[in-house]
Structure 1
C-alpha cells in the first residue's frame, strides 16, 4: 500500500526527470470564483499530463532484470504516454493497450514515443484485461496499472508534495484542493502527501456528469460503478469505478466529490487559455471548472486546483474556444 515514505522515495527517484510545475494565478479567475484561485498546471508536465510521474515512478522501481523484459499498460492515452516515455528512457520495450475510440492524437503520440500500441473495442465490450493478460504471459512483461498500483500512486503523490511546499510559500494553510479524478491514483496520492505535509489542505475529487462514480461512492460509503464504461468528452478521467487501492484512501482523506457538466469543462478550457495561456483537455479541466463555476461547493478564501492534462485534439480545443471564446 502506498504511504508517505513511498511517495518521498518516488520523489527522490524522479528528481531531475519530472518537471516541477508552478502554482499560477489570475485576478480574472479570482473574480469569477469569488476567492483566490491557485492552479497547478500538470498539463505542462512531460507528455502533457501528470501521468508521467506515476509511469516513471513505477518503471524506475522495477528490478532491472525484470524491467529489461519490458512493460505493458492499458490506457486511453495519458497513462499510455507516461509509461511509453519512461520505458524509452530506460531503453526497455513497452506495449500499450488502448481503446480504438481514444483520441487519435493520444494514440499517435504513444506510438511516436516508441511503444507498441494494441487497440481494442471498448464500446463493443472487448476486455483489455484479457488482452493484457495474454500478452503479459506470452512475453514476460510487467503490467503497470493506471491507478491501482502502489508505485503509480506514489509517483502521482509527488505532485502533492509540490503543492504542499508551494502553498506554504504562498502563505496558504487551509484550502480545498480540487483534483480531476478517474480511478483515483492522482487524487489519492495527493491526499496522502497533503496528510503528511499540509494537513490544512483538503482534497476534493472532481468528475464530469455521467461518470461521477467517485463522488457517488464517497457519498454511499462503498464502491459503485458508472452505468456506462465509455463516452463523453472527458476521456482522460472516464473509468468504470474507483480503484480497490485508491478508494479506501479517498474515503479516509477526501471531502465530498464535485461534479460538473461537459459544457462547464469546455468553459474552463476557454478560461484557462484566455487567462493563463494554458491548453487543457476536457478531462483535465473539470477541477478548474468546479473551482470557477461551483464556488458555493468550495470552502475557504483560497482554492487550489490541478489541471491534470492538456492532450486535446485541435478540433475539440477549437470547439471549446468557439463555444466560450468570450469567457
Structure 2
C-alpha cells in the first residue's frame, strides 16, 4: 500500500503543466487531497491504479489531471478522430459533472477535443458530433459507449479510433457493477488496446470490484485513502464531517413527519430518496400539493430525456426539493445541499449518502 501525504501541486515529483496549475488556481484548489497526492504520481510513472476513497475525496481531479498530463506528453500528437482517454462513469449526472470539470482544463488546451456520451440523447447526433469535432477525451456512461462501438455502418469506426488510447478510467466502479454494467464494461474492454494506463476508483472494495481489477488492470498499485483520524483498518464509507440523524415513528406517520420536516425547512435545499421510480412519481406529486411555495423536482432512472435538464436546473437553485432514486446516490456534486433524507431503507447498506 502506498504512503499518502498531502501537499501543494508544485510538490509533485513530476511538475504539472503551467496551464494545468493555472486552471487549479482558477478553481480555488491550492492543495491536493490525499487521493490526488497518492494517485497522480503513480499514473505519471505508468502504473495502473486501483484506488479506494470515500465520496467527496477529490477523485475526479485525481484522474482528470493525469489524463491531461499524459496526453500533453505524447510524442505523436492526437489527430481529431483519435481517442487518447476514456472516462466511464455509472450515471448521466456524474458524466455531466466530470465533463464540466474537464472543460475547465481543456479550455486552456484547444488542441484537445472532448465529447460527452450519455443516455437520453439521440445516438445519431452523438455520431455526427464525433465525426465533426472528434473526441480525444470521451466521458461516457457504459451503455452509450458500448452502443457507439456498433455504429460503423453510420460512419463511426470507434474500434479504430481507440487504438491510440493512453488512459482508461473506471469511476465509481462499485456502482458500475451494482447497476448491472459488468457485461457492457467487459465488451468495451475487448475493443481497447492492452498497452494503456487504467485507473479504477471506488468507494468500496467488493469481490466484484476485485474481479474487475483483475480483468481490466495490469499489476495495479492499490491505494486506500482514509480521512485523518480514521484507522487504516476502518471500513469508512462516508466523510467524517457528515452528520447522520434518524427518526423512529409509526409507519403510518412517516410521510406526515417528512412533510412536517420539509415545511419547517422551506428555505433550504433537500435531496429526498425513495426506493423506486413509482414512489418518486407518487410522492413527488403529493409533496407538490402539501409543501407549498417550494420548487419540487423529480429524477429517476426511467426518465429518458428530461433527467439531464432537471439535474442541471436543480444544481442552480438556492433552495428546493429533489425527489429521487439512488441514481443520485453517489458522487454527485450539488452545491449547498442542506439535507439528504432517506425515506425508504436503502436496498444496499453502502448506498445511503
Q: Flag whether TM exceeds 0.5 (same fold).
A: no
TM-score bin (small chain): 0.3 to 0.5
Question: Could you say which structure has the larger radius of gyration?
Answer: 2
> Higher relative contact order by CA 8 Å / sep ≥ 6: 1 or 2?
1
TM-score by length of 1: 0.34
TM-score by length of 2: 0.32
